[in-house]
Structure 1
Amino acid sequence: MEPAPSAQGPGATSGQDLVPQERRQLQLEFSEITGSTLDRARFYLLKNGWRLQDSINDYYDPSEEEVIDVTPAVQAPVPSSTLDTSQDVHTSSRISSERDLDTADGSEQATGTGKNQSEPVTPGFTLLTWNINGLDQRNILERTKAVCNTINSLYPDVVFLQEVIPQTFEYIEAKCDRYKAIASGTEQYFTAMLLRKSSITFISQNIQPFPTTRMMRNLLIVKAMFGSVLVCLKTTLLMARFGSVPLCLMTSHLESTKDHAAERKRQLQQVLQTVMQQDQTNTVIVGGDLNLRDTEVAAVGGLPAGTVDFWEACGSPLQFKFTWDVSKNDNLDWQLKFRPKCRFDRVYVRSSRPDQLAPESIKFVGTDRLEGCRRFPSDHWGLLCKFVKPCGRQVQQNLEQTDVSDNKTGNRAKRARTT
């Protein structure tokens, strides 16, 4: 396909004369030719005045002063949404109107990336799991927008979402366009997964039903690869962050309420059985609003060998324990005097052989009230989980010791003079 003439003429020095659709088309062509992400395509096109051929040449022949993010070359195409949006037309029109306002002036605010926002470099692997309470229609637009802003700001590698509805999924997919969005359903409410395009290569997906559920619950399973390399030619430094890490990602929203404990335990057994069936080369991560009580986990025999509870692996920090806490989160109209708090949202990790990812830290997100409605984004706090390479701390200590040694012996100054 021939590029847009207006982007290739000798006078084209910026993309200001191009409409968003033309810029998007150039990004798609660049990505198809080079096998890079759309964010990387945007970077080179902006740098070269949206001239496609110059941008491609620049991509394959970078200057020595640049820092290049080399990501997996295989990028699965993002399918267009096939969701049935006939339900809740009122909510859908409100969310669509907001997105139209974002793009009315020809800007690209609706993408969530921002016109000049660069691709942040985040060490380690991060995962966010969050029940975003899409079944609560009150302030649904403001709350969903806050969820998108949080995701785009923190920019985790993987996001697990529960209680997503068709209209909010469509909105999230549009606002968080640096992610591949995968849904486990198309009606009423369901779970979803977001994969950061610049660090996660999608391989396959599967939806495993829960045969006896009465609440439309299932298990969304995604196979993927995580890894990228940073190359800094200016300092002749080559740093591999993780290499390629095979992942098996699972998210679910297990049966709710105390009355359905028996069904929830059946679902948990099915999930853990699926975990044990995965190849040992994969790091398996299961997360979501699991609605579990510790006694229920013990009742099914506990976690399988090699599997840990992420929160416990981080030292069981009390301040990040209760993800559903009516005593602090008043989004629900709770009329009873007793104010419960439970650790419903959990993340389980089965390590690979050899071990490639290890839990490092955990914290809450979504704990600030929104300025407009004065409510929280959800009645659940989100969980942001950070992983590190098992040997990462030791490598960092060795680097620090090398720096100290260089300073004492003067080797660094000698190397600088030689250079």
Structure 2
Amino acid sequence: MNQSEEEHDIPDRETCQKLTEQFAEITGTDEACAQFYLQDRDWDLERSVNAFFEVSQTGGVSILHDGDAAGIAINVDKKLVKVLNKVQPTTEPPPRFSFVTWNLDGLDDHNLKKRTKAAHIGPLKLQLLNTHLESTVDHAAERVKQLKECFKVTSEAPEDTTVIFAGDLNLRDKELEQLGGPPPGVEDLWKTCGSRKECQYTWDMLRNSNKEFPGRFKPRSRFDRIYLRHSHPQRVVPVHFGLLGIEKVSGTQTFPSDHWGLRVFFNIRKL
């Protein structure tokens, strides 16, 4: 199958938004969860909903229909109550976490404290490198120079630390080739997680209407990327790479940004 045939199978942005909203309404979850299930099942709503409830069966979850409205019923029986009564508070760190990078307005001085948090995940040491490299073709040389410096910082982090380097890199593949690709031991997580076509383009004027471009040609680029350098021994396993922000802001005809956000789920290995 060629590239145009593969992209043809991806729903348009209106369909993606509708499916996301329907999944969230039926399952009682949020749109991030909806995208997680739908993107992995070719945007098939029925398969995605079924998969969600198969995972959730422990709590006795059922779909109820009242006319055209779908709802959720959670059946709590004596057996479940007995199990819950045995649950004890724990300081055990979570077995998994997610990471988000998104070129989104709001990271000015007035919002930085509100929107920025540091997290400690048990003994797991994380170093997060966020950047926004120079834009446009005219600044390619400076962008390559900046990327080289970012890769240097990523590679030189302490051996016992997991490094995640991400952001709006404005990167073209030919510019990455000038450096010979990522350094040894540094992974492109879109590729690591399967190179799914529906997650390839993060600045996509075919699906995102926030920016106008004259003519029939609609540019699509993988400007936003996430790179990972493992610690030694390896502590995290990337298990899913998906997009955020593919639904329009409620009550408007615009998306949160002209860039899609990226979200990666990781499992944490116990030593």
TM-score bracket for the superposition, by shorter chain length: 0.5 to 0.7
Distance 2:249 2:87 in 1: 39
Give the deviation of 1:387 after TM superposition: 1.2
TM-score (norm 2): 0.64
Q: Which residue of 1 aligns with 2:263?
A: 384
The structure, 1 or 2, with the larger RCO (C-alpha pairs under 8 Å, 6+ apart) is: 2
Query: Where in structure 1 do 4 or more consecutive aligned residues deviate above 6 Å?
Result: none
> Out of 86, 92, 96, which is 1:124 matched to?
96
**Structure exhibiting the larger radius of gyration computed from Cα positions:** 1
Percent of pairs with identical residues: 37
Q: Which residue of 1 aligns with 2:180?
A: 301
Q: Which residue of 1 aligns with 2:109?
A: 166
Q: Which residue of 2 aligns with 1:291?
A: 170
Distance 2:214 2:110 in 1: 30
* Residues 95, 268 of structure 2: 8 Å contact kept: no
AA aligned to 1:284 is V
- The yes-or-no answer on 1:245 pairing with 2:124 is yes
Distance 2:92 2:96 in 1: 15
* Residues 128, 164 of structure 2: 8 Å contact kept: yes
Distance 1:300 1:319 in 2: 27
- The yes-or-no answer on 1:365 pairing with 2:255 is no
DSSP 3-state at the match of 1:166: coil
* Residues 166, 227 of structure 2: 8 Å contact kept: yes
Cα deviation code 1:365-404 (max 9, x no counterpart)? 1111122222111111111101123589xxxxxxxxxxxx
Distance 1:65 1:342 in 2: 51
Cα deviation code 1:267-326 (max 9, x no counterpart)? 000011111211111111101111111111111121111110000001111110001101
Q: How does 1:266-415 map to 2 (within 5 A)?
A: 266-389=145-268
CA RMSD for the aligned pairs?
Answer: 2.4
Give the deviation of 1:335 after TM superposition: 2.7
| Residues 1:326 and 1:167: Cα distance change in structure 2 (over 3 Å) | farther
Cα deviation code 1:138-164 (max 9, x no counterpart)? xxxxxx6xxxxxxxxxxxxxxxxxxx2
DSSP 3-state at the match of 1:125: strand
TM-score (norm 1): 0.42
Q: How does 1:9-408 map to 2 (within 5 A)?
A: 65-70=86-91, 123-132=95-104, 134=105, 164-169=107-112, 173=114, 181=116, 194-195=117-118, 200-201=119-120, 226-227=121-122, 244-389=123-268
Structure 1 spans left out of the alignment, 5+ residues: 1-63, 73-121, 135-143, 145-163, 182-193, 202-225, 228-243, 393-419
